[in-house]
Structure 1
Amino acid sequence: MVDGAARGVVRRSDQTRVSVRSPSTRHLSLFCPPRGTYGALMRRLGVDVGGTFTDLILYDEAGERITVHKLASTPADPSVAILQGVQEVCALAGTEPSELSALLHGTTVGTNTILERRGAKVGMITTEGFRDILHIARHRKPYTFSLMQDIPQQVRPLILRQYRRCVPERMLVDGTVHMPLDEDAVTTQLRYLADEGIESVAICFLGSFANAEHEERVRSLAAQVLPDAFVSVSSDVSPQHREYERFSTAAINAYIGPRVGHYLDRLLEQLRDAGLRRDPHLMQSSGGITTFENGRRYPVNLVLSGPAAGLLGGIDAARRSGFANTITLDVGGTSADICVAPAGQARMKHLLDSSIDHYPVMVPMIDIETIGAGGGSIATVEEGQIIKVGPESAGADPGPAAYGRGGTAATVTDANVVLGRLRPGAFLGGRMPLDADCARRVMTDHVADPLGLSVEDAALGVIAVTVHNMVNAIETNSVRKGYDPREFVLVAAGGAGPLHAAQIARTIGIPHVVVPPHPGVTAAAGLLASDVRYEVAASAWQDLSRLEEADLEAVYRDLEVRVAEHMEDAGFAGGDVLLERAADCRYEGQGYELRVPVPSTAVDVGWATAARQAFEERHEREYFGRFAELAVHVITVRVTGTGGMPELHWPVLGGATSNDGPAPIAEVPVVFATDDGSQRVQTRIYARERLFAGDELSGPAIVEQPDSTTVIPPGASARIDEIGNIVLTIQEPAR
């Protein structure tokens, strides 16, 4: 066996959580070409595509300059807005796409393919007698007490039953071949799928996580019979036990594979035509960067691409302002993404909790709570005179009524226009004028009149419901998991996050809110703060008290070699690669595992003791108990490789040249809620670009910038730090 270190400089570490590196971390890799390669220093571009806007941020090492750009997304073909945005942001920065050293992309194409049911026509080859695993699942209902509900995998199957074809074969749980694969039957079923016009094939056999021989043979046969089809092999996509979750993961990979692959190929071709000379890269759900080629093969790893980038950008902003415990709130046009990061480290989801639209996805994913609450979320009045906001959204086209593009629904953006928090001539730096009359009309027709309220009170009601939804999501992701949100800082990101963050923080009792310099493009900035990551896993099934030490060490070594080879292919042969070992453990008799860090030393008695201690500490933290008398089993082992990106030296904001304090650019009436009802208060408006380090603001105030708007309500104050973050202090917090 070739040792992983032979393929480059490899470091091992016991860390397992995703974190934004400290300023001391600096590596050279494919993302940092030698100085002078293109006649300039490093230029790195982050591109995040949301449901409403496409965000770009370009970092130029020459002068440590940041250029931000935002434009409307093109949902029918996201590459259109990306290409336009790349050309425009390069023009603004005085450069060309050919001079970019890296382009990093966060995409929602895979997610939207599932949500919109626009995936490929998929066939499946599986073990005889088990084609209904995807239908039966685990007999769980999404809503326990609802009699009238749809079971997603039954009413909206990703693979229709007639295309789930069985063949004789059987692999036992220990990897022993119980029944040989009937290759003639496989060929017959593949030909049937070909005749039916199948575009993608999922290969899912029992026991393949222990021995992938049969699945790999079917892959070879599929390449002959269906040469143009996308092939998803369960033991390759998610080599772990639990047949339903593994089958579901492979099915989703097959369902979105052709569309994601076509999108990536088209985007790459267009970027090449525009002059891009470096290979673009993608954000994964795990919070690491990967290659386009890896994204084509495993598109299921991209389903939380954008939200993961937003989280990392928020953590980085908080760290630079001196905060560790972080809650990120990234509110865009369609949804709000919330994540709790104790000590600035994002937690990974339990594999059994990872899903997309109720379909299990057994791949590494950051623990992010997503709710349908964004600027474009539609407000309606339900039976019982109750305001409901979201999850339906007006999207980018036609968008909120205030956009003047024909939208007829009342949205959160319209409510903020009615309240005076979004000024019609200042939205997107004045590039998109808002129609206040349209906003008032839809708010009156759809909310105020049905409730018998003034239009201002109706708008306040819409905001209150939106804030309640976000508060509930934050508490679900923090309090219920053992964290006190009052000990955290709230990072407000996205175009709409800073509009509502202070009200959210006051409701929960969070003392401080951080608004990054470019909150509307935090996800794009997070792409620039991320490292290249690759993870592989294998089944182990060993008792820590009776370890087969040599066998387990061999498995880890094999995984490390695979990771090192992948990182070399990604351009890290001469750079540092950080190798991290982890294990999914459980008590004997339990039906679920917890992932824990394990030592990178050789597997021995000391290793087993450390692994058990790590497991029991996490079990006690998660479930408030440990059981010393029970055996602990290692079910799955993992190795993650991380290649460090060159550190970004963000510009430091200069101090004010006078002692007069910041000067407002306007003073306008804005509606706020008080104990006595709605009240119109004269509010100072500040331009973000005119604020300097050390400037202090008192509420009520509003800070405008092209990519977002920050509301500082009465009773709150704010200070601009040297990083350029707005740090709000929330007074009189709710307790």
Structure 2
Amino acid sequence: MKRIGVDVGGTFTDLMYWDEDGAVAVHKVPSTPHDPAVATMDGVRQLSERLGIAVSDLDQFLHGTTVATNIVLEHNGADVGLITTEGFRDILHIARKKRPLNYSSYQDLPWQKWQLVRRRNRRVVPERVDASGAVLVPLDEDAVREQVRVLRDNGVQAIAVCFLHSYRNPAHEQAVKRIIEQEYPEVFVSLSSEVAPQYREYERFSTTALNAFVGPKVSRYVDNLRNTTRAAGVRGEVGLMTSAGGLITARGAVDNPVLLLTSGVVAGLLGGCAIGEASGYPSVITLDVGGTSADIGVAPDGKLRMKHLLDTRIGDYHAMVPMAEVDTIGAGGGSIAFIDEGGMFRVGPRSAGATPGPACYGRGGTEPTSTDAMVALGWLRADSFLSGTMEVEPQLAVKAIDEHVAEKLGTSVSHAAIGIFQIAAHAMTEAISLHSVRKGYDPRDFSLVAEGGAGPLYAWHIAEQLGIPRVIVPHHPGIASAMGLLATDIRSETPATVWTSSADPDLARIAAEFDRLTAHAIAQLGADGLAPEDVVIERSLDCRYIGQGYELRVPAPSGEIDADWVARAAAAFHDVHERTYLQRFDDKPVHLVNVRVTAVGKVGHVPLADVEAGGTDPSAAVKTTTDAVFWTGAGEATPFPTKVYDRALLKAGNVLDGPAIVEQFDSTTVIGPGQRATIDRVGHIVIEIETAAGDRGPALGALEGDQR
């Protein structure tokens, strides 16, 4: 079995190869934003040539993509039509009445300014189903046919169908789909009963419209990728990463492209979980820093957390699909440093991107970036970029920092460069605090996994600020997301609304829905070529206290669904509620809103093999000694004699004392002054961060700073 994982980022496209003999190879090529498939296939061909194999030898092609996300963020999706119940034409416009600025009477509401469906294309028809699924008003099929023809004449490229309570009875939506296939067969169709079959009126409408909005472009992209890989001879189906941290086939992605939102960033978290487990530290916080952004993920005990319904948004829109707890901030190697009109020193979120890139790339960029700052500090050497295959000009970095920052602040280039680094690092530190401390987790109980081309440059400092006891730098940090693709399974999740209480539970209905969803999930994976015995079923619940507005996800108990099962489910919810909100109410009944079934099709994961042992002395790996600039306790910019190591020559057991720099093809690692790192048995760099015994200061200080 020969497998390849490809993750497309804003600046670089990362590739990782693995086969059954344990061979692992990585590659990195510049992304091609105009058509991501170009860089993808170029990278596959180049890596295959380097390995001496044909592309046709590949058995599996796994892919993480930002195509769907970018369509939403750039507001350039399809022209969408909507068919809905009479009286509900403006659900997408009204939304939840929540305003970005609570006290402003004059503000643009993003979901109204950039409408998913223009009002002229929101069409209504007579029909009505109640909350139990009973038909109150039969569907007027003649009216449906007339409205479909109107949308066809208006030239819409996709049609979303959202009827009230269709999650309980999808018959009317299915009838509309049959009519659309007769009247307008070439249009993309999105049914709410298929895309988001659960209660919550606005969120269900928004998710279905989003699916239609991204559908035509994503379908073309996926079809093009599938056809290109087939033409190249790749055996097997293309697998794509979903926002929930599982793989779906190209067929599933074409049917439900909304599942690909946040596809790429989740792969980095999955890779971090595999890395932490291999090093013996399963609870991880991942810091994946690329050229444009930084992705932050938290996985206690190596388990992905799913976002709360209130947080499952993409850009300006609600997307009621499962999303792993990963968030992105605009801070990366290409983040531009500048002095704003008020004289404030800022870094990002504007980025130099792949073109023209940082000033040091010599591609026409003149503004200083985080990468330029690290070049000026001596952390990134001119001959270290991509093992010397990319030319870098340090004098251009120094010039850009001097002209745009240092002169305006009246300071030295070194001080300005330190400031650029610390501002960018502070943004990442705050993001980690937000997603750990504020959600009931102490970052000092985790290890920080440094990923991406720039993650290992920042991690040593961020861990110090938060009191995280160690940093783990994987063997290929710049390819961690591609590794995540090779370390996950095929997943299919389906929800259903049951709406019952622990005080008077409808046991028969809960059991019937679990059985129905289980059969559906097994059939879904069966269509992807997996036998029932290769599928693991996971069950969960969305619960809340009666009177609350939103639910928390709870693992469903095992065993027969009876009164004891409900009691155990309620107890599990009390525990989750206490973890989330620091309060529990054991005497209150629990409202069971939705049941969920996730089918997991296990695939072979990339094993991390032990590396050669070499004792504690790393001197054989020393490339040179350089003067790299760090800062003292007084904040002074000070050159430190710093050893530079070749990552490929380090062996298990080697001990590196900071300050030190470790260079490799896809990234550079910084070990700060006074820190010590060890190469563990699988070749990961483990940097130990010294904190006083029992000291609870750094992380709590970060939280208090947030509250202020």
Q: Please say whether Structure 1 and Structure 2 have the same fold, judged by a TM-score greater than 0.5.
A: yes
Q: 2:458 aligns with which of 486, 490, 500?
A: 500
Q: Does 1:294 align with 2:243?
A: no
Give the letter for the 1:171 counterpart.
V
- In the other structure, the counterpart of 1:690 is 649
What SS does the aligned partner of 2:98 have? coil
- In the other structure, the counterpart of 1:155 is 113
**Residues 686 and 702 of structure 1 are in contact (CA less than 8 Å); yes or no, is this contact kept in structure 2?**
yes
Q: 1:601 to 1:185 in 2, by over 3 A?
A: same
- The worse-fitting range, judged by mean Cα deviation, of 531-540 and 597-606 is 597-606
Q: CA deviation at 1:595?
A: 1.2
| 1:63-102 correspondence runs (5 A) | 64-102=22-60
| 1:119-518 correspondence runs (5 A) | 119-144=77-102, 149-518=107-476
What SS does the aligned partner of 1:428 have? helix
Deviations 1:307-337 (A, max 9, x none): 1110010111011111022111111111111
**Residues 616 and 654 of structure 2 are in contact (CA less than 8 Å); yes or no, is this contact kept in structure 1?**
no
Find the aligned partners of 2:618 and 2:131 in 1 and give their Cα distance: 74
- In the other structure, the counterpart of 2:512 is 554
Q: 1:558 to 1:225 in 2, by over 3 A?
A: same
Q: CA deviation at 1:55?
A: 0.3
Q: 1:598 aligns with which of 556, 564, 573?
A: 556
Give the letter for the 2:288 counterpart.
D
**Residues 518 and 597 of structure 2 are in contact (CA less than 8 Å); yes or no, is this contact kept in structure 1?**
yes
**Residues 618 and 656 of structure 2 are in contact (CA less than 8 Å); yes or no, is this contact kept in structure 1?**
no
Deviations 1:427-470 (A, max 9, x none): 01111111222222222222222222212211111111101100
Find the aligned partners of 1:467 and 1:172 in 2 and give their Cα distance: 52
Deviations 1:26-58 (A, max 9, x none): xxxxxxxxxxxxxxxx21111100000000010
RMSD over aligned Cα atoms: 1.6
Q: Does 1:718 align with 2:677?
A: yes
Give the letter for the 1:376 counterpart.
G
- In the other structure, the counterpart of 1:109 is 67
Q: CA deviation at 1:501?
A: 0.3
Q: 1:169 to 1:706 in 2, by over 3 A?
A: same
Q: CA deviation at 1:198?
A: 0.5
**Residues 420 and 671 of structure 1 are in contact (CA less than 8 Å); yes or no, is this contact kept in structure 2?**
yes
- In the other structure, the counterpart of 1:680 is 639
What SS does the aligned partner of 2:320 have? coil
- The worse-fitting range, judged by mean Cα deviation, of 464-473 and 141-150 is 141-150
Q: CA deviation at 1:387?
A: 1.7
**Residues 28 and 666 of structure 2 are in contact (CA less than 8 Å); yes or no, is this contact kept in structure 1?**
yes
Find the aligned partners of 1:658 and 1:380 in 2 and give their Cα distance: 43
**Residues 65 and 651 of structure 1 are in contact (CA less than 8 Å); yes or no, is this contact kept in structure 2?**
no
Find the aligned partners of 2:374 and 2:104 in 1 and give their Cα distance: 35
- The worse-fitting range, judged by mean Cα deviation, of 313-322 and 627-636 is 627-636
- The worse-fitting range, judged by mean Cα deviation, of 154-163 and 514-523 is 154-163
Find the aligned partners of 1:659 and 1:640 in 2 and give their Cα distance: 48
Structure 2 unaligned spans of 5+: 699-708
**Residues 309 and 550 of structure 2 are in contact (CA less than 8 Å); yes or no, is this contact kept in structure 1?**
no
Q: Does 1:49 align with 2:8?
A: yes
**Residues 290 and 332 of structure 2 are in contact (CA less than 8 Å); yes or no, is this contact kept in structure 1?**
yes
Deviations 1:652-690 (A, max 9, x none): 210128957444101112111223321122211111001
User: Taking CA–CA contacts closer than 8 Å with sequence separation of 6 or more, which of the two structures ends up with the larger relative contact order?
Assistant: 1
- In the other structure, the counterpart of 1:614 is 572
Q: 1:145 to 1:493 in 2, by over 3 A?
A: farther
Q: 1:509 to 1:703 in 2, by over 3 A?
A: same
Find the aligned partners of 1:491 and 1:96 in 2 and give their Cα distance: 34
**Residues 618 and 650 of structure 2 are in contact (CA less than 8 Å); yes or no, is this contact kept in structure 1?**
no
Deviations 1:366-401 (A, max 9, x none): 011211111111222123322222222121122222
- In the other structure, the counterpart of 1:12 is none
- In the other structure, the counterpart of 1:633 is 591
Give the letter for the 1:515 counterpart.
V
What SS does the aligned partner of 1:710 have? strand
**Residues 122 and 198 of structure 1 are in contact (CA less than 8 Å); yes or no, is this contact kept in structure 2?**
yes
What SS does the aligned partner of 1:380 have? strand
What SS does the aligned partner of 1:268 have? helix
Give the letter for the 2:345 counterpart.
I
Q: Normalised by the size of structure 1, how large is the TM-score?
A: 0.92
| 1:7-18 correspondence runs (5 A) | none
Find the aligned partners of 1:603 and 1:494 in 2 and give their Cα distance: 45
What SS does the aligned partner of 1:546 have? coil
Q: Does 1:700 align with 2:662?
A: no
Give the letter for the 2:668 counterpart.
T
Q: CA deviation at 1:343?
A: 1.1
Find the aligned partners of 2:107 and 2:15 in 1 and give their Cα distance: 40
**Residues 66 and 651 of structure 1 are in contact (CA less than 8 Å); yes or no, is this contact kept in structure 2?**
no
Find the aligned partners of 2:104 and 2:525 in 1 and give their Cα distance: 48
Give the letter for the 2:624 counterpart.
A
Deviations 1:47-94 (A, max 9, x none): 1000000000101222x1111100100010000001011111111222
What SS does the aligned partner of 1:566 have? helix
Q: CA deviation at 1:353?
A: 1.6
Give the letter for the 1:598 counterpart.
A
What SS does the aligned partner of 1:622 have? helix
Q: CA deviation at 1:144?
A: 4.3
Aligned residues: 693
**Residues 85 and 125 of structure 2 are in contact (CA less than 8 Å); yes or no, is this contact kept in structure 1?**
yes
Q: Does 1:573 align with 2:553?
A: no
- In the other structure, the counterpart of 2:687 is 728
Q: CA deviation at 1:471?
A: 0.4
Deviations 1:577-599 (A, max 9, x none): 11111111111111111111112
Give the letter for the 2:148 counterpart.
L
Q: CA deviation at 1:147?
A: 6.7
Q: 1:55 to 1:146 in 2, by over 3 A?
A: farther
Q: CA deviation at 1:547?
A: 2.1
**Residues 617 and 655 of structure 2 are in contact (CA less than 8 Å); yes or no, is this contact kept in structure 1?**
no
Deviations 1:671-711 (A, max 9, x none): 11223321122211111001111111011110011100101
Find the aligned partners of 2:190 and 2:487 in 1 and give their Cα distance: 31
What SS does the aligned partner of 2:123 have? strand
Q: Normalised by the size of structure 2, how large is the TM-score?
A: 0.95
**Residues 290 and 453 of structure 2 are in contact (CA less than 8 Å); yes or no, is this contact kept in structure 1?**
yes
Give the letter for the 2:573 counterpart.
F
Q: CA deviation at 1:648?
A: 2.7
Q: CA deviation at 1:146?
A: 6.3
- In the other structure, the counterpart of 1:35 is none
Give the letter for the 2:680 counterpart.
D
